[in-house]
Amino acid sequence: MKKHRSILLAGLALLLASSVIGCGQPAPSPSLPAPPPAQLPQAGESPPPAQPPSADEAVDGEEWNMVQTFTGGTNEATPPFYVSGTEWRISWAIDAEYPESAVLELFIYRQDAPYAIWDSISHSGGNGGTVTYFIPYYIPHDETDRDFFIKVLARNLRSWTITVEDDAVDAAFYPVQITDIHHRGTVYPRDPENCVCFETVEPDEYVVIKNLGDSCQEMSGWVLKNITKGFPSFTFSSGFILCPGDIIRVYTSFPFPPGEIVEVYGYAMYPFCFHYPPGDIWDNEEPNIAVLYNANGKEVSRKTYAVLSQDMCLCR
């Protein structure tokens, strides 16, 4: 019994000693196994990022703008329509009891040349189709090259639909706009006694252009043109920037130093000039159309004006 008690006391003493050692110097924690290296996801584990649409999808989904839609069932001519941008297209659809025997013929004319077929389309069989036309850049701004109408010949059809679209950017998206045309200026007659040898016709005609947006617009290479007459053109010089609220007046032939800011009726304006003596760019007998194009040749704004008779009172 005494022997067993000694053994028990010795074990208890050993246990206390180990506890003291543990409190004075903690034993190191057992090392944990290192985590396995992160695995890259396999090709099929997550969907790939969305790809941008192809050029054709972008054009078809975003850049084609409606010009006009025509419907009918017999032979007829459409009203005139105007196309902008660098491309335009005609799409058609037919409704026929027997499409294989249906015929739709489209004869396209320029409005200023109704005696000459500009192009023709012949469709037979099927339900529809599309033809796209390119407008060459070297004749992009001629009004007569952009007004068309279509003569339709239809056989064995219930009905037809023709849609005209172009790739022009809607002018509403452009903050820089033509806001006014002062077409009736002053005529300065010859005055030989004061060494004025030539009559000057309405040099104080002008077109007002304003930035209606919230950011500045760099206008190098932008063009203002009278498309009714087809001439002249005014091209903005390199480095010209029109900031929000800024106003430009483009005069016919007024002697303003280019780019100099002047005050007109309390407004700070940048006056520019066509430098087109003797003047008279904007007709006083028939309304003309002013068009503003950006540096890429795309139309961003157009405006015309009403011509009042000479005897009409202008003060109401």
Instruction: Give the domain CATH number at 94.
Output: 2.60.120.380
Q: Is 176 in the same domain as 300?
A: yes
Q: Is 84 in the same domain as 152?
A: yes
Can you read off the two tokens belonging to residue 195? 């060494």
- Residue at which a domain ends, from 141, 166, 191: 166
Q: Is 283 in the same domain as 297?
A: yes
> Has residue 163 got a pLDDT over 90?
yes
Q: What is the pLDDT of residues 170-218, one digit of tens each?
A: 545 678 999 889 888 888 888 888 887 777 888 888 899 999 888 899 9
Q: By the 8 A CB rule, do 68 and 114 touch?
A: no
Q: Is 210 in the same domain as 297?
A: yes
Residue 123 lies in a domain: yes
C-alpha distance across the termini of the chain, in Å: 135
Percent of the chain surpassing pLDDT 90: 20
| Helix ranges restricted to H, the chain | 2-24, 55-58
Of the candidate ranges 31-35, 89-93, 192-196, 261-265, the one whose mean pLDDT is the lowest: 31-35
- Residue at which a domain ends, from 166, 186, 215: 166
Report the pLDDT averaged over residues 255-264: 56
Query: How many domains, in total, are found in the chain?
Result: 2
- Residue at which a domain ends, from 143, 166, 189: 166
> Has residue 22 got a pLDDT over 50?
no
Distance CA 186, CA 287 (A): 18
Q: What is the pLDDT of residues 48-72, one digit of tens each?
A: 333 333 333 333 444 788 888 999 9
Distance CA 210, CA 246 (A): 6
Q: Is 184 in the same domain as 296?
A: yes
Q: Is 136 in the same domain as 176?
A: no
Q: Is 249 in the same domain as 291?
A: yes
Sign of CA dihedral 21, 22, 27, 30: positive
Read off the pLDDT band of 164 (50, 70, 90): very high
Of 131-145, 184-198, 219-233, 249-263, the range with the highest mean pLDDT is: 219-233
User: Which range marks the domain in which residue 84 is found?
Assistant: 55-166
At residue 29, the pLDDT reads 41
At residue 26, the pLDDT reads 41
Q: Is 83 in the same domain as 185?
A: no
Distance CA 59, CA 122 (A): 25
Q: Is 177 in the same domain as 252?
A: yes
Mean pLDDT of the chain: 73
Q: What is the pLDDT of residues 115-159, one digit of tens each?
A: 999 999 998 877 889 999 987 644 444 444 678 999 999 999 999
Residue 176 lies in a domain: yes
266 compared with 253, residue with greater pLDDT: 253
Q: Is 124 in the same domain as 230?
A: no
